[in-house]
Structure 1
């Protein structure tokens, strides 16, 4: 079976590395993007697309909501998204719901809860 490929978007390197290690231990392929622009470039390059996108809501230049909107314009297949945040306003959560983002989770998150969200959104 081909491992699922997950795109993780967060400007905090400690967060992305922790998530990358955790997901790789579970057998997933992981690509890291440190900004919205970086994520857009990586999605354009990866012809087969990603199976899941995980993005931080609060980032400089382009927030997670904006990133999801832009990625949806270029992604070739429907891809579930999980938003992660250390702080989310009611407005950003409302926007996520309006976009029908699959899930969101607060940092710091419980590893089991996070992995359950990942599995659920990958259809496992």
Structure 2
């Protein structure tokens, strides 16, 4: 057991796996079951099954396939946010990082995305991140997803309303940094960062960190500026 896993013991993260391919679901269950702080509480083969299973099983995180034949991951994510008072975090699993479905799922409220062929440790790490309130972001991939889309005046206006510190926090979020990493960069406490992040989400009208970062890119606020 590594340090990260040891730190997570005592707080088991409940995971629902959603994918139309049985082999993929079986593989993910096997990989995640080997982690002492993660438990797969259920599986679904289509997005239509997700809301009732979430209500029954109360997962912390849903690993959601982006493309499914009946109800895809985008619509399933929207339904979760519409029907659940406290919806679980959603991580989109996809074959291609620049999948248009991924962008739409992120806008619908997913906390991030990860490739199906990612190493088991990376998938487990992503689940822990979103369960703790962070997000799974790959800045280069998000930049590609937003490339070619016209700047949104509304997004720019919201970003412009942030304080200098909040804008700095948003830039660091857009670089893919976690709350802890941001705290270390700015030499402030983790609680201070969480407060700033909360203020950023409120002012941007974003449901989560990922939506805030998408707004940042759409407003032209590039990381590192």
Is the partner of 1:14 in helix, strand or coil?
A: helix
Decide which structure has the larger Cα Rg and report it.
2
* Aligned with 1:36 (options 47, 50, 53): 47
Distance 1:90 1:58, change over 3 A: closer
CA contact 2:91–2:114 (8 Å) conserved in 1: yes
Which portions of structure 1, spanning 4 or more consecutive aligned residues, are displaced by more than 3 angstroms? 87-90
TM-score (norm 2): 0.49
Q: Structure 1 or 2: larger helix share? A: 2
CA RMSD of aligned residues (A): 2.0
CA contact 2:73–2:105 (8 Å) conserved in 1: no
Q: Is 1:92 the equivalent of 2:106? A: no
CA contact 2:92–2:102 (8 Å) conserved in 1: no
Q: Structure 1 or 2: larger strand share? A: 1
Q: Which has the higher contact order (CA 8 A, sep 6+)?
A: 1
Unaligned runs of 5+ in 1: none
Q: For 2:87 and 2:114, locate their aligned partners in 1 and report how far apart those are by CA, in whole Å.
A: 21
Q: For 1:74 and 1:100, locate their aligned partners in 2 and report how far apart those are by CA, in whole Å.
A: 13
Is the partner of 2:93 in helix, strand or coil?
A: strand
Q: Is 1:57 the equivalent of 2:66? A: yes
**Structure 1 residue 84: Cα displacement:** 0.4
